[in-house]
């Protein structure tokens, strides 16, 4: 979706100033910031909190999110992100990512989760991260504080219902954020994850174009915006994975991209710095 740059928010890498800082705590689900999120009780992702033996890792339900072995301060990382799902093509996409051993991040629409709970659980079970993309995709900057909060909290509840856990990241629809969105997200323990590469896949429903943009526009530590509700985008993914692999990229989740630099709730990030 189109990026609405909020006043005062720098484009692209200029944001790295503030961007390079925070997220050890969010390994996707269940690892919200201690104290920050309302669901930190489920942060059973630390090694000590892990209930069972190693076999737990192969269980599909809890999202263990083992400590990332990739260090993006040294590796050439890129974060693929898919918004507006889950949808009818998400399962196909998960198969493509698995075939390539690639990890991604899904920003979920709360109102789309019912009936696709298993898809969301599979996203986590396969090592991907999930984030809150509001309940019904409004432009948050135009809403009251209460309505902003409701859009996010309702979706967090749905994520909890589907997976038993929570998340510490969100993405404002259209990239439309402002100071009030920052205050509300901070209160909810959610960091705002924007993007640095926009494939405009929602507008150009052409797999070749989408693949070409993702492959040729990506730089190290970029966050690439796509949407798994478009079959043209999903069909572009094998080419994207091949093309970016050939360029030496490693595909990481948002928490992995910021590993060791905890994301700060309320702050907006455009890339991994
Ligand atoms: Ni969206």
SS3 readout for 82-127: EEEECCCCHHHHHHHHHHCCCCCEEEECHHHCCCCHHHHHHHHHCC
Report the pLDDT value the prediction gives residue 66, as an integer from 0 to 100. Answer: 54
* Residue located via tokens 């995709």: 137
Q: Which domains does the chain have, with CATH numbers?
A: 12-43+64-269 (3.20.20.370)
As given in the structure block, the two tokens for residue 25 are: 């705590």
* More confident call, 261 vs 12: 261
Report the pLDDT value the prediction gives residue 257, as an integer from 0 to 100. Answer: 97
Segment 209-221, tens digit of pLDDT: 999 999 999 999 9
Report the pLDDT value the prediction gives residue 13, as an integer from 0 to 100. Answer: 39
Report the pLDDT value the prediction gives residue 260, as an integer from 0 to 100. Answer: 85
As given in the structure block, the two tokens for residue 247 are: 């360029």
Taking the alpha carbons of 214, 85, 191, 253 in that order, is the dihedral positive or negative?
Answer: negative
Please give the Cα distance from 48 to 123 (Å, whole number): 23
Residues 6+ apart with CB under 8 A from 269: 15, 18, 19, 191, 192, 193, 194, 223, 258, 263
CA of 81 to the centre of ligand 1 (A): 11
Report the pLDDT value the prediction gives residue 59, as an integer from 0 to 100. Answer: 47
> Quick check: 56 pLDDT over 50?
no
CA of 1 to the centre of ligand 1 (A): 6
CA of 215 to the centre of ligand 1 (A): 21
Ion ligand 1 — residues with CB < 5 Å: 1, 83-84, 173
> Quick check: 19 pLDDT over 60?
no
Q: Which residues are catalytic?
A: 83, 227
What SS3 state is found at 175?
helix
Confidence category of residue 238, pLDDT binned at 50, 70, 90: very high
Report the pLDDT value the prediction gives residue 38, as an integer from 0 to 100. Answer: 34
Q: H/E element holding 255?
A: helix 254-257
* Residue located via tokens 């899904």: 106
Segment 58-82, tens digit of pLDDT: 445 555 555 557 899 999 999 999 9
Segment 102-111, tens digit of pLDDT: 999 999 999 9
Total number of residues shown for the chain: 273
CA of 50 to the centre of ligand 1 (A): 33
Percent of the chain whose pLDDT exceeds 70: 75
> Quick check: 161 pLDDT over 80?
yes
CA of 247 to the centre of ligand 1 (A): 28
Taking the alpha carbons of 267, 175, 100, 158 in that order, is the dihedral positive or negative?
Answer: positive
47: burial class by Cβ within 10 Å (0-12, 13-18, 19+)?
Answer: exposed
Please give the Cα distance from 111 to 43 (Å, whole number): 24
């Amino acid at each position: 979706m189109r990026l609405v740059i909020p006043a005062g928010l720098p484009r692209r890498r200029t944001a790295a100033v503030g961007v390079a800082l925070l997220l050890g705590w969010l390994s996707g689900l269940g690892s919200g910031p201690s104290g920050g999120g309302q669901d930190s009780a489920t942060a059973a992702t630390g090694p000590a909190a892990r209930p069972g033996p190693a076999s737990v890792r192969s269980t599909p339900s809890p999202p263990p999110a083992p400590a990332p072995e990739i260090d993006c301060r040294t590796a050439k990382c890129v974060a693929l992100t898919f918004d507006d799902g889950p949808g009818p093509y998400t399962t196909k996409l998960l198969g493509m990512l698995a075939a390539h051993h690639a990890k991604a991040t899904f920003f979920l629409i709360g109102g789309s989760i019912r009936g696709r709970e298993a898809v969301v659980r599979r996203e986590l079970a396969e090592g991907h991260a999930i984030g809150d993309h509001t309940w019904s995709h409004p432009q948050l900057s135009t809403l009251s504080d209460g309505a902003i909060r409701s859009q996010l909290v309702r979706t967090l509840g749905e994520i909890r219902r589907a997976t038993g856990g929570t998340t510490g990241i969100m993405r404002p629809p259209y990239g439309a954020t402002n100071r009030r969105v920052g205050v509300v997200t901070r209160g909810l323990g959610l960091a705002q994850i924007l993007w640095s590469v926009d494939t405009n896949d929602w507008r150009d429903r052409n797999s070749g174009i989408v693949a070409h943009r993702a492959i040729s526009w990506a730089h190290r530590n970029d966050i690439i915006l796509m949407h798994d509700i478009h079959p043209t985008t999903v069909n572009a993914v094998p080419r994207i994975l091949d093309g970016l692999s050939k360029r030496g990229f490693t595909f990481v989740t948002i928490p992995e991209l910021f590993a060791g630099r905890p994301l700060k709730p309320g702050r907006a990030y455009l890339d991994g710095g």
